[in-house]
Amino acid sequence: MIERRNRSGAGLHDPILEKLGMEIAAGELPAGHVLTLDGIQERFSVSRTVAREAMRILESMGLVESRRRVGITVRPIADWNVFDPKVIWWRLSGPDRGAQLRTLTELRIAVEPLAAGAAARAATAAQRARVVELAALLRTLGEAADLAEFMERDVEFHELLLQASGNEMFGALAEVVAAVLRGRTQLGLMPHKPVPEAMDLHDAVAAAIAEGRCAEAETAMRALLVEVRTAMLPGLVPWSPRDPPPWSTTLWRLMSCDPPLWVPRCCARRFPSCALPHPTACNLL
């Protein structure tokens, strides 16, 4: 179903949006750089209408500003909608994907404990039941060392919490969190057998949510994220792909795997077409 949209339903403006978005996100078109509609028409061999639509979208993302008589100016990163999935994706595909990955993980660490606490208040009965069920399942699967299935249930666990939080802003992060978790297992970066502490903490989170104990849910989730934090902390120094990353090999390998582990929904339709400018760089997360 995706591939059909890929060749037919995509639209002409999409590739040019993608290309220019990547170039801006990569810094190839630095802030202050000026484009013109005529230039875009010519470069991509499209009509004025299509060029304008692509610019309008970039403008709505804060990546460019269009002014009469001047042209289309690239804006500084401070003006970008850094939460826009497309922008996230472009930055993850470009040279500063390390920085973007760090900010995303940092965001995840910030949000998940609160989401767990909120879920303890806001979850439906079905969600509470499911979260307990999942925690029990995780223990069974973990003891059986069924890593593949463990991972899938773990993803479901975290997605469920974010969505059950009743906060759509938290829920919107579910996709990203799921990608990180999937990636870790897929690359064999999880322990061969999950440590008992992890399963105890999943249990604690689940029980707290089921019984509406918000503070406990939050605390337990925070404990669950300690491992992620310690993996991330050394990574807070800026670096380029050229330099060896100063952080743990876990995240490093997550970033550099091929094929990519995750493609945001908004880009999925065109991904299989292999039209990406940085094929080896689109790994991420």
User: By C-alpha distance, which of 240, 238, 236 is closest to 281?
Assistant: 240
Q: Which residues pair with 17 in a beta bridge?
A: none
Q: Which does 241 bind (CB under 5 to 8 A by kind): its own copies, DNA, none?
A: none
User: What is the maximal distance between C-alpha atoms in the chain?
Assistant: 68
How far is 45 from 50, CA to CA, in rounded Å?
Answer: 10
Does position 258 interact with DNA (CB under 7 A)? The reply is no
Q: Which is nearer to its own copies, 104 or 155 (CB)?
A: 104
Q: Which does 86 bind (CB under 5 to 8 A by kind): DNA, its own copies, none?
A: its own copies
Q: How far is the CB of 123 from DNA (least distance, A)?
A: 36
Handedness of CA 256, 257, 258, 262 (dihedral sign): negative
Q: How far is the CB of 226 from its own copies (least distance, A)?
A: 12
User: By C-alpha distance, which of 66, 37, 36 is closest to 51?
Assistant: 37
Q: Where do contacts with its own copies occur on this chain (CB under 8 A)?
A: 9, 13, 49, 52-53, 56-57, 60-62, 67-68, 77-78, 80-86, 102-104, 106-107, 109-111, 113-115, 118, 121-122, 166-172, 214, 233, 236, 238, 266
Measured CA distances, 21 to 64, 75, 90, 250, 265 (Å): 10, 12, 7, 28, 16
How far is 265 from 275, CA to CA, in rounded Å?
Answer: 16
Q: Which is nearer to DNA, 49 or 230 (CB)?
A: 49
Q: Which is nearer to DNA, 52 or 184 (CB)?
A: 52
Report the site for DNA in 21-40 (rule: CB under 7 A): 35-38
Six-digit token pair at 161?
């919490």
Does position 71 interact with DNA (CB under 7 A)? The reply is yes
Looking from the CA of 172 toward its CB, the CA atoms found within 13 Å total: 10
Q: Which does 31 bind (CB under 5 to 8 A by kind): DNA, its own copies, none?
A: none
* Binding interface with DNA (CB under 7 A): 4, 8-9, 11-13, 35-38, 45-50, 52-53, 55, 66-72
